[in-house]
Amino acid sequence: MNFKKLIIESGIKMIDEGYTIETWGNISARDTQTGNIYITPSGMNYHTCTEDDVIVCNLNGDIIEGKRKPTIEKDLHLGVYRVRPEVNAVVHTHPIYSTIFSCTGEVIPLILDEAAQTLGKPCKTCQYALPGTPELAKVCCDALMDGGNSCLLQSHGAVCVGDSMEAAFKVAKVLEVTAEIYYRIKASGGKPIELSQEDIDAMQYFVKHKYGQVNT
């Protein structure tokens, strides 16, 4: 797989589908064959980035390829890969509805079947830390250590993970849809009904073992 191309295409997707604005947000992918991490550069327009702008580093953060400065959230990405070895893609987004709840410090509950199937756990908001700091990397990793596939960075945005880039973007999309529905329920004066843990477990088993086509 051409991971540099994947990073470029994913950056454009993040902008074009409204997951962030301008040059905010960042993306990384792990090559399971080499263990190398491919990551977006800092502060560059995703529409004009080329494969030469993508940075390649190892899990220790040593730069292997690339002349650009990596995103300031490099340590956050690397930290996630360390605590979640099954994760191969990390997408840090700044979408509207998810970010609303990051600013209020709330948890986005599992109120939809697709949220239970995809997010895995309620999406909680981390304690505030400045962007690009070791403190932010730590609170993010702490929030994701329980096996959930998303968390909110207080007053900042969201972090979504998956075993592939496609899976990480699916988490980002479902999180934002769930956040919008949750927001609209609250705005209308309603109270959402959270799914029971029994039903959440059943949904996750269904997705893992029964949903989709069997490869032959």
Residue 32 in domain: yes
- Considering only CA atoms, which of 17, 14, 64, 65 is closest in space to residue 44? 14
Which domain covers residue 65, as residue numbers? 3-209
pTM, full prediction:
0.91
- Residue 185, amino acid: I
Which residue bears the tokens 């070791």? Answer: 134
d(CA 77, CA 90): 7
Among candidate residues 17, 73, 86, 194, the one labeled active-site is 73
Domain count, the chain: 1
User: Where residue 44 sits, what CATH number does that domain have?
Assistant: 3.40.225.10
pLDDT for 43 beyond 90 = no
Residue 28 in domain: yes
Mind listing the pLDDT tens digit for each residue in 140-197? 999 999 999 999 999 999 999 999 999 999 999 999 999 999 999 999 998 888 887 8
Residue 214 in domain: no
| Catalytic annotation present for 73 | yes
| Sheet with 157-162, side-by-side order of all strands | 63-65, 55-57, 37-39, 26-30, 89-93, 157-162, 150-153, 125-126
> Could you report how far apart the first and last alpha carbons of the chain are, in Å?
22
